[in-house]
Amino acid sequence: MARCVRCRVDARFGGEMVDRGDHCVGGVAGDDRRQHAPSIAQAWNQLRAERVLVIVSVLKIEPTAKWIRGITGDRTVVDTKAAHLVWEHEYYPYWYIPVADVRDPALPTTTLDELPGHVKIEFDHVERWFEEDEEVFVHPRDPYRRVDAQPSSRHVVVEVDGVVVADSANPTILYETGLPPRYYLPVADVRTEHLTPTETSTGCPYKGLARYWTVDVGRGPHTDLAWGYDEPFPESAPVKGLICFYNERVALTIDGERLGVAATTEDR
């Protein structure tokens, strides 16, 4: 499995990149004793070796009140109401489970000095995970991430190799913490004769499973340039059946203004 930028269910399965700025190690809001690591932006400007050390040290731990279960086959292998969320990097948290709540001793686990008596189980070592009675896909959700999908009357024009492939005054704009806005367009406003479905499928714990299209206007294919969700999760329901293009790989004009390339690359 590759990195999660949004989390790929095929060989490209992976999640999203978020700059959270300053993180604290332990402590709670309002606790002046908490220790702050350098921001990710600051860390990125350091030499690679130093940067890796800084990112590894960005660690936040907090308890979650959610009931967490892991099920493999017909067996419940994890069952806890006392898990902790641990950010080992800036992208998303992991669950750390009390040792006593891990029912399968054969599961590979990882320990953390800062959280004795708890272990991490890699997400893909268990077939299905649940928060309360809702199944969770790809990786644990970040409680500080927000997704808003809002209808709009902005005029959106998408060009590929100088050819207009979409023109819509009825987009749904998806705003997601840490990512550029994504413009989801009605199929009727897309020149689908330039789109060919691919076998790529990716997963996101906030939006669901996406399918992809390659775009070719006669000057060579742009693989997996567009995507859409047939059955998005409830928080992203307004984008159901719509098509979105990577801002970073097309010429995107909004209300007559050409957008520059977004800072975040190929995160959905």
CATH number at residue 194: 2.170.150.40
pLDDT, position 267: 59
**What confidence score (pLDDT) does residue 266 get?**
55
d(CA 23, CA 34): 10
Is 267 part of any domain? Answer: no
Same domain, 162 and 246: yes
List own/partner pairs for 141-145 with CB under 8 A and 24 or more apart: 141/92, 141/205, 141/206, 142/18, 142/92, 142/93, 143/64, 143/85, 144/20, 144/177, 145/18, 145/92, 145/176, 145/177, 145/178, 145/206
- pLDDT score, position 59: 79
pLDDT by residue, tens only, the chain of 268 residues = 333 333 333 332 333 333 323 222 233 233 333 333 333 333 333 433 333 323 344 479 999 999 999 999 999 999 999 999 999 988 899 999 999 999 999 999 999 999 999 999 999 999 999 999 999 999 999 999 999 999 999 999 999 999 999 999 999 999 999 889 999 999 999 999 999 999 999 999 999 999 999 999 999 999 999 999 999 999 999 999 999 999 999 999 999 999 876 544 455 6
- Whether 156 is covered by a domain: the verdict is yes
CATH number at residue 71: 2.170.150
The predicted pLDDT at position 31 comes to 31
Do both 67 and 163 map to the same domain?
A: no
Is residue 18 a part of any domain in this protein? no
154 and 252 in a single domain? The answer is: yes
The amino acid that residue 216 corresponds to is D
Are 92 and 155 part of one and the same domain? no
Q: Does residue 142 fall inside a structural domain?
A: no
Question: Is residue 153 domain-shared with residue 131, that is, in the same domain?
Answer: no
Can you tell me the distance from the alpha carbon of 220 to that of 161, in angstroms, rounded to the nearest whole number?
9
- Return d(Cα 254, Cα 247) in angstroms, integer: 11
pLDDT at site 4: 35
Domain boundary among 79, 106, 136: 136
Domain range holding 152? 147-258
Residues 90 and 158 reside in one and the same domain: no
Same domain, yes or no, for 194 and 228?
A: yes
Same domain, 50 and 82: yes
Rounded CA separation 15/149 (Å): 19
Q: Are residues 28 and 127 in the same domain?
A: yes
- How high is the pLDDT of residue 56? 43
